[in-house]
Chains A and B, each alone.
Chain A
Amino acid sequence: MDQEVDGLSYQMELKNVYKEYGQTEESMPAIQDVSFALNRGEFACIVGPSGCGKSTLLRMAAGLDTPTAGEIQFCGEPVKGPHPKISMVFQSFALFPWRTVEGNVEYGLEAQRVPKAERIDSVEKYLDMVGLAGYSHLYPKQLSGGMKQRVGIARALAVDPDVILMDEAFSAIDEFTAETLREQVAEIHAETEKTFVLVTHNLVEAVELADKIIVLSARPARVKKIMNVDLERPRDRTHSEFIDAHKSIFALLKEELETKIARHRIKRIPEFEKLSDLEGHS
């Protein structure tokens, strides 16, 4: 899976992506020269210290934000805005509370003007896939966090995208439920062969799900390392190779965290105050 598919192009490719906020000369970029490529059907996890710009990167891949420099390509074409074949799952679930489970799942299809009868079929199919068959007429407030995220995943799947972007999708759910949901997402990934990109700060989660882990540095985000995870699926957290992979990523991130902590200390020194202000929005 590490080779280019079809000999054509990568499914998604980031080329020297920069992101800067504000226009001042001395402003420090949030994202600095990030490049990586994803093959069709790959499960990628982006990890990095909190506030390093992982989510910004994902939002740019979704077409919700634009890079200051560089380019994000989907199937060889630059991403210039939301794309019907790129879908997203949110940490906050982001369900419309006034819509039922069914209404939420069919939302993307509605926007694509798919007729009602077809929408209902898709809703049923994907609710079944995420294990929520029979819940279609409940409102989000009647669901637990885990169930809400299942709806979020079904909504993302319903438009039959090629790429599903997940922003900390399991972080707002209790660990026990999250684990079941991860297993289910791994199954869905195997079944549908769609490309998944998950932003997370949970390294165990990353090792459990990813074919490829992209480790970002502390702000400004650069690619520190791209690690391929070639463990057999379903993955066993207690397996020695799993633990080794986890250890090596942890070591990389610890380095970054230490850099970040060192910078925090520098912040207290007046000469560096200006510098730390520029980093402020982490």
Chain B
Amino acid sequence: MSAAFSKRMLSIKANVHHTVAFEQYLWLASLAGIFLVWEATVRFGMVPESKLPSFTATVATLVASLLDKGFLMRVLQSFLNLTGGILVALATALPLAIFAGLRNRFDSTMTPLIMLAGALPDIALLPVLVLWIGRGSAAAIAIAAFSAFFPMYFTIREGTKDIPKDLFHVAAVFNTSRADTFRKLILPAVSPQLFTGLRLAYDFVWEIVLAIEIFSGVTGIGSYISGAVEAGEVTQAFAAILAVGVLAIMIDRLVFGRAEKWIRRWMD
């Protein structure tokens, strides 16, 4: 019976894999369509090339830029601002959110304040922050961390509250240490919400970081784009935008795609 059962499980798995594999690549078709329309619009002269470069010209510039050290440094700078902000947010949101999820009293003391803070307009804080810590990366990281904190805090807090009480009883019955209760119970239990929060924060923070770089001149790919547009090098600007898009997708697939795959294996 066991062999037959596992065989059945395998065939179900294979079927699921087949549809997923097919659907996974459907988006490529629509993407190709968009690029095609873009290229055609420029080629047939519907938009002047000084306003919108063709797709092929953009890709060519992008490929050339990838060999340009200055360009790569700018991309790296933005990426570091983003990652720095998310890491700072994760390091503060994770312990606070888990504690709020576990202790009702702490939750009712802290969470309303955090909601209030979350309602503040992040970008509007920028001038004040620049006044305090200057125009460098630190300001960008601080704003990024501030924006990333809230989605992460609330998703992780929900996740912690949703852990069934009996799982804590299991941990207690088998004499699990505090550190292990965190590592082996709380962390895996909140991981789906943790990744949801991270992903939300990640999408959100890309925009925040670029906006800061564009409008307040913090060095990064954002300031590169605004500089290129001002200098009339629109193709350069588009190549940079495309670079950011490709990078964002790559990270999404590499980090979140993997996490999602692991979570899907065990979650209902």
Contacts and interface: CB of A to CB of B under 8 A. Distances in A.
Nearest to B170: A94
Of A63, A87, A94, A138, most B-chain CB atoms within 10 Å: A94
B164 interface: yes
A84 B268 contact: no
B2 A141 contact: no
25 contacts: A62-B169, A64-B172, A82-B173, A82-B174, A82-B175, A84-B175, A86-B173, A90-B170, A92-B166, A94-B164, A94-B166, A94-B167, A96-B185, A98-B189, A98-B267, A107-B170, A108-B173, A112-B174, A134-B3, A135-B2, A138-B9, A141-B266, A141-B267, A141-B268, A142-B9
Contacts of B266: 97-99, 139-141
Nearest to A104: B170
B191 interface: yes
A181 to B, nearest CB: 16
Interface of B: 2-3, 6, 9, 164, 166-167, 169-170, 172-177, 180, 184-185, 188-189, 191, 265-268
Contacts of B166: 90, 92, 94
Nearest to A152: B170
Given A82-B174, A88-B173, A159-B174, A96 B267 contact: no
Contacts of A134: 2-3, 6
Given A87-B173, A139-B266, 7 more contacts: A63-B172, A63-B173, A94-B170, A111-B176, A134-B6, A135-B2, A159-B174
B195 to A, nearest CB: 13
Q: Mostly helix, strand, loop or mixed at chain B's interface?
A: helix
A64 B167 contact: no
Contacts of A108: 173-174
Interface in A78-103: 82, 84, 86-88, 90, 92, 94, 96-99
Nearest to B13: A142
A142 B172 CA distance: 26
Nearest to B180: A111
Interface of A: 59, 62-64, 82, 84, 86-88, 90, 92, 94, 96-99, 107-108, 110-112, 133-135, 138-142, 159
Contacts of B173: 62-64, 82, 86-88, 108
A111 B175 contact: yes
Q: Mostly helix, strand, loop or mixed at chain A's interface?
A: loop
Nearest to B188: A98
Contacts of A63: 172-173
Of B167, B174, B175, most A-chain CB atoms within 10 Å: B174
A177 to B, nearest CB: 15
B172 to A, nearest CB: 5
A92 B163 CA distance: 13
A133 B267 contact: no
Contacts of A138: 9
A111 B174 CA distance: 7
A141 B172 CA distance: 23
B169 A64 contact: yes
A256 to B, nearest CB: 27
10 interchain residue pairs of minimum CB distance: A94-B166, A134-B2, A108-B174, A98-B188, A111-B174, A139-B266, A98-B266, A88-B173, A92-B166, A94-B170
A83 B164 CA distance: 22
Contacts of A62: 169, 173
Nearest to A134: B2
A88 B175 CA distance: 12
Nearest to A158: B174
Given A64-B173, A135-B2, A97 B9 contact: no
A133 B175 contact: no
A121 B175 CA distance: 21
Of A87, A92, A107, A111, most B-chain CB atoms within 10 Å: A111
Given A111-B175, A139-B266, A94 B2 contact: no
B169 A96 contact: no
